Amino acid sequence: MIHRGKLAQIHIARQELGLTDEDYRAILARTAGVSSAKQLTNRNVGYVIAEFKRLGWEPKPAKKAGRKAPNPPRSRQRVMDKIEAMLADAGRPWAYADGMAQRMFQVERVDWLDDDQLHRLMQALIIDAKRQGRYPDHV
């Protein structure tokens, strides 16, 4: 059985090429000797994808995952964990926090903020979360 990502790629290619079910199954049979994409193996999935490319399909480049999370010293780990949780809750990457650090303190990365700046950045994220209704108000 093939990886789910490859299976999804095959179904996307089928849809983008506008293939009928009959044409799609004919391509699977001709290139890999199977009648269903679930029957493909890692060895023969490349033939099917190559055939789709020959027919004019162009796969879109994969999205970049972004940068790695900072690796702070122990003394700053709790604040950094809180920032990471708030970013994840808001669906934002580390680049968003880096942009905030740049705008607020003219420092390129969150990793390079001092303790006071890091704490103030966390407070700004809390304020944003409260405005968006993502942060419980403990008053």
Per-residue pLDDT of 91-110, as tens digits, reads 899 999 999 999 999 999 99
Cα separation, 30 vs 8, whole angstroms: 20
User: pLDDT by residue (tens digit) across 4-30?
Assistant: 888 899 999 999 999 999 999 999 999
**Residue 138: which pLDDT band, with cuts at 50, 70 and 90?**
low
Assessment of whether the complete model's pTM goes beyond 0.85: no
